[in-house]
Amino acid sequence: MTYQETIWDDSPSLKSYTLSNFRTLPQIQKLSEETQFEMEVVGNVLPFKANNYVVEQLIDWNNIPNDPIFVLTFPQKGMLKPEHYEKMATALKNNLDKKEITNIANEIRLQLNPHPAGQMELNVPTLKDGTKLYGMQHKYKETCLFFPSQSQTCHAYCSFCFRWPQFVGMDEMKFAMQEGEQLVQYVREHPEISDVLFTGGDPMIMKAKIFSKYVDALIDAKLPNLKTIRIGTKALAYWPYKFLTDSDSQEMLDVFKKIIDNGLHLAFMAHFNHLNELSTDAVKNAIKAVRNTGAQIRTQSPLLAHINDDAEMWAKMWTKQVQLGCIPYYMFVVRDTGAQHYFGIPLVKAYQIFKKAYSSVSGLARTVRGPSMSATPGKVHVIGTANLNDQKVIVLRFLQGRNPDWVQVPFFAKYDENAIWLDDLKPALTDKFFFDEEMKNFKTTHPVEDYPES
């Protein structure tokens, strides 16, 4: 393949860059051989995929290695622990054959907690007739997640993504469903569901024709409980042309309009990690096009070391989102899988960054909630730190709970500057968290599922 720059005011087509061809990019060839080798080592273990929009419009190649979008989409040496790095580097230097490299990669991958919260087979929703729905998850009453089999990839991959096992073929699309009818039947059988969330991968990787089949099934069923269709997507950040010039872009916008014309709310849950993703004409025009359908865009992102651990950047990003007509929604804490040691931020520090950013923006941007952990018992919000009877504590609450009664109840953990996840926290003032006992039951009867950041 020869590299060619894209003409952006035409109708650009997506070109992907992965382990097999990233060295053809002139921007990469300018980096030292050592850096290119490091990327190859990491890229042999963790998935990576960038594209021509990310490379030509988002990354500032004068700002390598610190450019946030470069760190977001290209493999970084620090993403592997030194012993894992050395193992793969040695294998590549010794020119082992493909199969041996794959074996070593899989050995390392298994040590990276590929299934955080043990989500896989366990909590599969079932229809009343006993049919198991592998392409759905239903953890919180009001919202069920739907994973269409055609949306199990993305326009580019985020280096921190916890879906990495699926992208390297370890999970073989276990979350995936082709049957719109079964989705409809499930929502019909569960009158407590008001929201269906399309997720993946990225559902906006789907052609409009395929997406519309699922949407039509939901609309035609006239389900009285269904109020909102949500789409969790990073397409605005990674490929805004999906809503501008792609061959099916108008058709996709028409599907959005149809959802709204049928009396449903379309909640477009857009994943943006950095202000730079909001800087191009393409993304601004795409946001306009999506909003013109009547959809409401809400934004969310995890907080990530090396990418966005900067309060001022968050404040600017939320302010820009409001300016563009989007509603800031969630700031997440990055999960305990893959390269968490590289991207993870301790909870106390995450709270400090959040507080500083939140207190410097208009109330219109303070719709955002965070930092929030999507942990096994629920979405846990780090509210702050406090002194109780001379004991320093972290104050928390559930934004979503496996048991809805848990929501909003404040609870306390011992102050710990190093804790990065709920499991690291110890209860303060009591010997157990108030939900611990009940969680034991859930572990056996309702094991856990998982929620994508995008």
Ligand X SMILES: *Cc1c(COP(=O)(O)O)cnc(C)c1O
**Residues in the site for ligand SF4, rule: CB under 6 A?**
154, 157-158, 161, 163, 201-202, 234, 271, 452-454
SS3 300: strand
Nearer to ligand X, 155 or 379 (CB): 379
Phi, psi of 138 (to 5 degrees): -145, 95
Binds 140: which of ligand SF4, ligand X, none (CB < 5-8 Å by kind): ligand X
Peptide bond into 82 cis (omega under 30): no
Minimal CB distance residue for ligand SF4: 454
Q: Does 376 bind ligand X (CB under 6 A)?
A: no
Nearer to ligand SF4, 202 or 401 (CB): 202
Binds 374: which of ligand X, ligand SF4, none (CB < 5-8 Å by kind): ligand X
Q: DSSP secondary-structure letter at 139?
A: E
Binds 202: which of ligand SF4, ligand X, none (CB < 5-8 Å by kind): ligand SF4
Number of residues that bind ligand X (CB under 6 A): 10
Long-range contacts from 407-414, C-beta under 8 angstroms, 24+ separation: 407/378, 409/434, 410/383, 412/386, 412/388
Site for ligand X in 187-216 (CB under 6 A): none
Strand pairing partners for 331?
Answer: 301
Q: Does 119 bind ligand X (CB under 6 A)?
A: no
SS3 36: helix
Binds 119: which of ligand X, ligand SF4, none (CB < 5-8 Å by kind): none
Dmax (CA) for the chain in angstroms is 67
Query: Which conformational region is residue 222 in: left (phi greater than 0), alpha (psi within -120 to 50 degrees), or beta?
Result: left
Answer for which of 145, 290, 295, 357 binds ligand X (CB under 6 A) is 145
SS3 297: strand
If one counts every other C-beta atom within 10 angstroms of the C-beta of residue 82, the result is 9
Q: Does 451 bind ligand X (CB under 6 A)?
A: yes
For the window 344-373, what string marks contact with ligand X as x by the rule CB under 6 A?
------------------------------
SS3 296: strand
d(C-alpha 127, C-alpha 144), whole Å: 13
Binds 154: which of ligand SF4, ligand X, none (CB < 5-8 Å by kind): ligand SF4
For residue 12, the minimal CB distance to ligand SF4 (Å) is 19
Nearer to ligand SF4, 161 or 297 (CB): 161
Binds 234: which of ligand SF4, ligand X, none (CB < 5-8 Å by kind): ligand SF4
Q: How many residues does the chain have?
A: 454
